[in-house]
């Protein structure tokens, strides 16, 4: 089973999700998705599809990814100033061979060296952003890994209560809905919760009678007295 997820950078909230069997490739599922013009997609090399890159560019959607090893291309322009020591190259390229037939638009190739002296080759179709911004955008891709880590650690989906397809799907969808509700409460609160602390204290207060929206901003106040129970007489 595979969860294909679009994570919105604004608040790190899941905005679109599809569950498929594990045999379906990531790019096969993602290719038909539509994105708003002007948005920036970040994805790893598992989504490299040059025809899809051309379609994204035609739809005015920007993307940042890592280029495949052995990618066939030619340099069209190499005159951008390298304004940061971590940027080793910033070129305008055109793909060649079969890749060039699938994607005819010029692309941007950024060569970046991190603090550990590891070198990365980024591919993008945005020519206005600084090269360091392109690198920073790709670095933020790891937020999706953090999201899945939070999901597994806090909402208990490392193991499943049932083994049927329907049981697994229900548990995953329930976890995604729960994380959306928790994120919404976290954003509305003025207290500054971490997600794990919010979830832990919610579990402790499941049977406490109090106003939720007041509680998430002042969680350590004295809980209000429960209302008196009124026993009505039955008229026979």
Residue range 106-158, pLDDT digits in tens: 999 999 999 999 999 999 999 999 999 999 999 988 888 877 777 777 776 66
The predicted structure's pLDDT at residue 159: 65
The predicted structure's pLDDT at residue 131: 94
The predicted structure's pLDDT at residue 76: 94
The predicted structure's pLDDT at residue 228: 74
The Cα-based distances of 162 to 3, 22, 152, 159, 170 in angstroms read 17, 18, 16, 9, 10
User: What pTM, to 2 d.p., does this model score?
Assistant: 0.76
User: Which residues are bridge partners to 120 per DSSP?
Assistant: 112
* E strand or H helix that includes residue 119: strand 119-124
The predicted structure's pLDDT at residue 20: 78
Instruction: Show the low-confidence residues of the chain (pLDDT under 50).
Output: none
Quickly tell me which residue has 């950078």 as its tokens. Answer: 9
The predicted structure's pLDDT at residue 7: 82
- What does the alpha-carbon distance between residue 35 and residue 58 come to, in Å, rounded to a whole number? 12
The predicted structure's pLDDT at residue 158: 62
The predicted structure's pLDDT at residue 226: 67
The Cα-based distances of 123 to 71, 94, 167 in angstroms read 11, 11, 40
CB distance 92 to 76 below 8 Å? yes
- What does the alpha-carbon distance between residue 33 and residue 47 come to, in Å, rounded to a whole number? 13
């Amino acid at each position: 089973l595979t969860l294909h997820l679009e994570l919105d950078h604004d608040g790190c909230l899941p905005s679109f999700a599809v569950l498929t069997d594990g045999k379906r490739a990531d790019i096969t599922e993602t290719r038909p998705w539509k994105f708003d013009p002007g948005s920036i997609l970040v994805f790893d090399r598992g989504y490299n599809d040059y025809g899809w890159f051309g379609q994204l560019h035609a739809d005015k959607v920007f993307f940042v990814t890592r280029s495949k090893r052995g990618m066939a291309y030619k340099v069209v322009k190499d005159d951008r100033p390298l304004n940061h020591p971590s940027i080793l190259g910033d070129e305008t390229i055109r793909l060649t061979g079969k890749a060039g037939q699938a994607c005819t638009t010029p692309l941007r190739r950024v060569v970046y060296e991190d603090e550990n002296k590891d070198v990365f080759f980024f591919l993008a179709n945005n020519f206005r952003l600084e090269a360091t911004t392109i690198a920073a955008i790709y670095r933020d891709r790891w937020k999706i890994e953090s999201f899945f880590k939070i999901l597994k650690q806090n909402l208990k989906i490392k193991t499943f209560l049932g083994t049927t397809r329907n049981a697994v799907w229900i548990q995953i969808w329930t976890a995604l809905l729960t994380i959306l509700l928790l994120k919404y409460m976290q954003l509305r609160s003025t207290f500054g919760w971490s997600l794990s602390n919010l979830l832990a204290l919610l579990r402790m207060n499941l049977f406490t009678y109090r106003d939720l929206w007041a509680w998430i901003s002042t969680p350590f106040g004295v809980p209000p007295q429960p209302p008196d129970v009124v026993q009505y007489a039955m008229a026979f």
